Chains A and B, each alone.
Chain A
Amino acid sequence: MKQRLVLVGNGMAGMRAIEELLKLEPEKYEITVFGSEPYGNYNRIMLSPVLASEQTIDDIILNTPEWYAENNITLHTGKLVTEIDRVQQRVVCADGTTADYDRVILATGSNPFMIPMPGIDKQGVLGFRDIADVDTMLAASQQHKKAVVIGGGLLGLEAANGLMKQGMDVTVVHLLDSLMERQLDPPASAMLKTSLEERGMTFMMEAQTAAILGDERVTAVQFADGSQVDADLVVMAVGIRPNIELAQNSGVYCERGVVVDDTMQTYDPKIYAVGECVQHRGNCYGLVAPLFEQAKVCSNHLAQLGYGLYEGSVTSTKLKVTGIDLFSAGDFNEGEGDEVLLMQDPSQGVYKKLVIRDNRIKGAVLYGDTMDGTWYFQLLREGTDISDFRSTIMFGQHDLGDAGHGDEARVAMLSDSAEICGCNGVSKGDIVCAIQTQGLFTLDDVRAHTKASASCGSCTGLVESLLASTVGSGYSAAPSKKPVCGCTEHSHDDVISAVKTHELKSMRAVFDFFEWKTPDGCAACRPALNYYLLARWPEEYQDDAQSRFINERAHGNIQKDGTYSVIPRMFGGLCTPKDLRTIADVCDKFDVPEMKVTGGQRIDMLGIKKEDLPLVWKDLSAAGFVSGHAYGKAMRTVKTCVGKTWCRFGTQDSTGLGVKLEELTWGSWMPHKFKLAVSGCPRNCAEATIKDFGVVCVDSGYELHVGGNGGIKLRMTDLLCKIDTEEQVLEYCGAFTQLYREEAHYLERTAPWVERVGLEHIKQCVVEDEAERKRLHERFKVGQKQSQIDPWKARAEGAEKNEFRSIEVVEA
């Protein structure tokens, strides 16, 4: 029999837990949901735009009654649960409805705090929490003129802005001398106040309310100093209190909130709690991003997977007042030993402040230009060392060595028809519409629903900006720890380190160790695991052909018509007349439809039938050619220029060195493609400064450059070091390559890897620590013993022959 799960509180956190659970274990529970509001679950944070008439209630519904029905969930709306009978395992409602349970999720949210003062219960005095409050405010704005909002925090200002949009005169009363003091430092707060005043809002700062005056309905607000302000509507937004009444009455242990452990369990093991009603490690949260993380952990335990842990959240805030850009995160009040980076441009209304401790961002406040908020927030949560780009960090991500997108600001100005994802043809309008109508919050959601950013990923930054601007801070930035894929919660780093420290030597061992959710992985994780195992245990791990993308399985590039291309290696771009004759003969013999000189200084034969591949390779390998690995996450080409042998400017033998480098590195499997180049002088004809590893020869030796990329996001290399001899170039190259092979995530090229781990770290391992460099180079050579067995020759001689043969059947 199915277990019975009862959710009390049909809000954002509770329903997110149910949705996550349905993804993991759709059949495990018979689910019943109680909500005291008369609706399905809706996006509470969007009440502000609804109040400002920018959206409607229909726009913000997240789960319709049909959704509950389709998922076999019994929904009771408009029913307040008044008791949890923990002995009988049954919840009881005010109207007598009951439901028996095996497990309960408590997600009762919080209540607006109403300052206890005379007159607080008069008509026209309310909090700002739910649809009913918004309806009341909208109705009041039709009949009345004067509104007072008590509280100059996020919620108060959003309420004030909405009421002003409805035509009311709004006065905001605040106890302290600066607005949103918990999210903003005084200068940003002052800028915000000025710009709200310009829109017509009135402020009374450092004012203490004493009483609400009026008969039945409010007529004025009185202050401690005796003064008064007229009011027909008073919105109280001074804070929220976790709603723990039900838990307390039922004897579930509470302090400020319902106390839970890292698995979101309360003191009663049958009862879980998530959302604003919860107190975790002493903290209560009032923003959705942490609540969603809690929901995920809770569902993980309800599904009995048992490994998710909630360890608390760092939060960030954005104000949803159209036309005002404001962002804050972390701890932005500098303490002793902290440093402050500040940028101010009053005429443009821009203010940015970063608080730095030990070269890491600790807090951020942005006003006027919040484009880089998500980026700073990511650096903050990941604790990234910023020393490498500290001098430009204030100018934002797009100033970072061209590796960023540079055009995120554009996204706000683009028209709805503008194409965002060039691979899948998805427009800005499609994405915004999907975010709004389907209630999407994360990049993965958007990928799944629209396919935007699901292919080459170069538009990821744009999609993230769209998410941030469409759902405000409800946007859960990708978790700092990204799982490898949907088959697991664990990250690439978790896998890389477990493969090493727990000596996992087969794919099954990895699946078992991490309790993979799928029986045999997916097309995303299997190639990654296969690579990690191969890179770590080159002499023991048995490569798994079925976990390789077809190009690597068939050792050629699949073309759109299902034929393949063949690119033999030409070491350093050098070739002989005999080489060219061989290639020409092969093209004639197999009717190759097209021959092309590639961008990598060699020759491509396109349009070869799969069955012919072993035959083509046989002829090529007889003439001494080996695979060019143009199809692999592997070492690709070493581009060279003519160098000192011929060129009047050449300083060293760049062609010869290129050949040696290619002889050292060919055949090596990598996290992603890997390209080298050697230029004979700083004129740099081989374009060495956009390669993964580039050498620029100079009169006195060799400059080594790393982390370049000429592809989707252009990035120029960083200078690693300058050295004296060819032997050194080879050793440094082997060591750098091996470090990348061991540390980078699968499908992460050197450019993003260098940016993630920092050039300093790479210099430390490859340049400064001589012993480490030699160890790395040694490990690289061990791996190469296995890798430099030419796959083409082996297949020409009959290996894997089934891969290339189809089965003919004739109907008798």
Chain B
Amino acid sequence: MSKWINVVALDQIPLLGSRVVRNGELKIAVFRGSDDQVYAIRDACPHKQGPLSQGIMHGNSVTCPLHNWKIDLTSGKALGVDEGCANLFPVRVAAGQVQLQLTPEPLAE
């Protein structure tokens, strides 16, 4: 079993914004919704690997900064007519700290 790692205090992520967490080559974008819900997704758009962390977040999705694909942060899947899926990572908030596991969840169907 993977273990939970403290990465950053929740209030260090702007509302509707993100931070990038690195582990060697691996980059994970951690988002904070307007309701303080957190999401963690591989920081590479299924389209052409655009950095999703740099996109505009709204509701529980993010619009990729490169070509405007919309990615659902609860499933990792592209919304609308686009098809593709990015890995999600287990994430939670405990005592004001965002915690992450570094092993991705299986891709959504």
B108 is an interface residue with CB less than 8 A from chain A: no
A527 at interface, CB cutoff 8 A: yes
Note all chain B residues with C-beta closer than 8 A to A347. none
A811 contacts B23, C-beta separation under 8 Å:
yes
Chain A residues closer than 8 Å to B51, beta-carbon distance: 558, 562
- Asked whether A546 and B14 contact (CB < 8 A) given A451-B81, A806-B22, A807-B8, the answer is yes
Q: Is the CB of A560 within 8 A of B66?
A: yes
Please, how many angstroms separate the alpha-carbon atoms of A807 and B14 in the complex?
A: 14
Check A455/B68 contact, CB under 8 A, given A523-B58, A562-B50. Answer: yes
Residues of chain B contacted by A802 (CB below 8 angstroms): 12-14, 19
Indicate with 1 or 0, residue by residue over A422-454, a CB within 8 angstroms of chain B CB atoms.
Answer: 000000000000000000000000001111001
Is A545 in contact with B80, judged by CB distance below 8 angstroms?
Answer: no
Counting CB contacts under 8 A, is A738 at the interface? no
Closest to A544 in B: B16
- CB-CB < 8 A to B23: which residues of A? 808-811
A346 at the interface (CB under 8 A from B): no
B21 within 8 A of A: yes
Q: Which residues of A contact B8 (CB under 8 A)?
A: 807
Chain A contacts for B55, CB-based, 8 A:
523, 550
Output the least CB separation between A546 and chain B (Å). Answer: 4
Given contacts A520-B34, A809-B7, A811-B23, contact A549 B102 (CB under 8 A): no
- In chain A, positions 558-586 with a C-beta closer than 8 Å to chain B are 558, 560, 562
Among A451, A546, A810, the residue within 8 A (CB) of B57 is A546
Query: 1/0 contact trace for A228-247 toward B, CB 8 Å?
Result: 00000000000000000000
By a CB distance below 8 angstroms, the chain B residues around A523 are 55-56, 58, 63, 68, 70
The answer to whether A549 and B67 have CB atoms under 8 Å apart is: no
- In Å, the complex CA distance between A548 and B70 comes to 16
B80–A558 touching, CB < 8 Å: no
Q: Mark B11-49, 1 if CB is under 8 A from A, else 0.
A: 011111101111100010000001100000000000010
Q: A558-B54, A809-B22 are in contact. Are A449 and B59 (CB under 8 A)?
A: no
Determine whether B104 belongs to the interface, using a CB cutoff of 8 Å to chain A: no
Which chain B residues in 53-109 approach chain A with CB under 8 Å?
Answer: 54-59, 63, 65-68, 70, 80-81, 100, 102
Question: Could you tell me if A522 and B58 are in contact, using CB atoms closer than 8 angstroms?
Answer: yes
Q: Which residue of B lies closest to A800 (CB)?
A: B14
Cross-chain contact A550 with B65 (CB below 8 angstroms): yes
In angstroms, Cα B66 to Cα A290, docked, is 38
Nearest CB in chain A: distance from B47 CB, A: 11
Q: CA of A182 to CA of B51 in the docked complex: distance in angstroms? A: 58
Min C-beta distance of A445 to chain B, whole Å: 11
B63 pairs with A522, CB closer than 8 A? yes
In the bound complex, residues from chain A placing their C-beta under 8 Å from that of B63 are 522-523
Task: Indicate the size class of the contact surface on chain B.
Answer: 35 or more
- Flag if B81 contacts A449 (CB, 8 Å): yes
- Residue among A448, A526, A806, A809 with the most chain B CB within 10 A? A809
**Given A522-B63, A523-B63, A558-B66, A545:B21 Cβ within 8 A:** no
Q: Which residues of B contact A519 (CB under 8 A)?
A: 34-35, 59
Contact in complex: B12, A558 (CB < 8 Å): no
Is A737 interfacial (CB 8 A cutoff)?
A: no
Q: Distance (Å) between the CB of A157 and the closest chain B CB?
A: 38
The reply on A554 being an interface residue by CB < 8 A is yes
Q: Which residues of B contact A562 (CB under 8 A)?
A: 50-51, 54
**Contact of A546 with B5 in the complex, beta carbons under 8 Å:** no
What residues of A have a CB within 8 angstroms of the CB of B19 in the complex? 802, 806-807
Q: Which residues of B contact A455 (CB under 8 A)?
A: 67-68
A518, CB-defined interface residue at 8 Å: yes
B14: chain A residues within 8 A (beta carbon): 545-546, 802
CB distance from B9 to the nearest CB of A (A): 11
A14 at the A/B interface (Cβ < 8 Å)?
A: no
How distant is the Cα of A501 from the Cα of B48 in the complex, in angstroms? 44
In the complex, are the beta carbons of B21 and A809 less than 8 A apart?
A: yes
A806 engages B20 (CB within 8 Å)? yes
Return chain A residues, CB-CB under 8 Å to B68: 454-455, 523
Q: Does A265 contact B (CB under 8 A)?
A: no
Q: Are A546 and B21 in contact (CB under 8 A)?
A: no
Bound together, the chains give a CA A438 to CA B48 distance in angstroms of: 28
Contacts of A808 in B (CB 8 A): 22-23
Contact of A546 (CB < 8 Å), options: B16, B65, B81: B16
Complex contact A546–B20 (CB within 8 A): no
- A518 contacts B56, C-beta separation under 8 Å: no
| A560: chain B residues within 8 A (beta carbon) | 48, 66
Chain B residues near A547 (CB, 8 Å)? 16, 56
Which of chain B's residues have a CB closer than 8 A to the CB of A454? 68
The chain B residue with its CB closest to the CB of A560 is B66
- Give the docked Cα–Cα distance between A158 and B7 (Å): 69
**Nearest CB to that of A554 among chain B residues?**
B54
The complex places the Cα of A455 from the Cα of B27 at a distance, in Å, of 28
**Residue A461 at the chain B interface, CB threshold 8 Å:** no
Which residues of B lie under 8 Å from residue A152 when comparing CB positions? none
Q: In the bound complex, do residue A546 and residue B17 qualify as a contact, i.e. CB atoms below 8 Å apart?
A: yes
Cα distance, A576 to B80, chains bound together (Å)? 51
> Is there contact, CB below 8 Å, between A546 and B56?
yes
Residue of A nearest to B58 (CB): A522
**Residues of chain A lying within 8 A (CB to CB) of residue B57:** 546
* A59-101 vs B, Cβ < 8 Å mask (1 yes, 0 no): 0000000000000000000000000000000000000000000
Task: Tell me the bound Cα distance from A49 to B16 in angstroms.
Answer: 51
When each residue 186-225 of chain A gets 1 if its CB lies under 8 Å from chain B and 0 otherwise, what string results? 0000000000000000000000000000000000000000
Contact A809 B50 (CB under 8 A): no
Please, what's the 1-or-0 string for A122-137, where 1 marks a CB less than 8 Å from any CB in chain B?
0000000000000000
**Is A521 interfacial (CB-CB < 8 Å)?**
yes
The contact sample of 24 A-B pairs, CB cut-off 8 A, is A448-B81, A450-B81, A451-B81, A454-B68, A519-B35, A520-B16, A522-B56, A523-B68, A545-B17, A546-B15, A546-B16, A547-B16, A547-B56, A553-B54, A558-B51, A558-B65, A806-B19, A806-B20, A806-B21, A806-B22, A807-B20, A808-B23, A809-B7, A809-B102
By a beta-carbon cutoff of 8 Å, the part of chain B in contact with chain A is: 5, 7-8, 12-17, 19-23, 27, 34-35, 48, 50-51, 54-59, 63, 65-68, 70, 80-81, 100, 102
9 tightest A-B contacts by CB?
Answer: A523-B63, A806-B20, A523-B56, A550-B54, A550-B65, A546-B16, A562-B51, A522-B58, A807-B21
Apart from A523-B63, A802-B14, A806-B27, 19 more pairs, CB < 8 Å: A455-B68, A519-B35, A519-B59, A520-B59, A523-B58, A526-B58, A546-B16, A546-B56, A549-B56, A550-B54, A550-B56, A558-B65, A562-B50, A802-B12, A806-B19, A806-B20, A806-B21, A807-B8, A809-B100
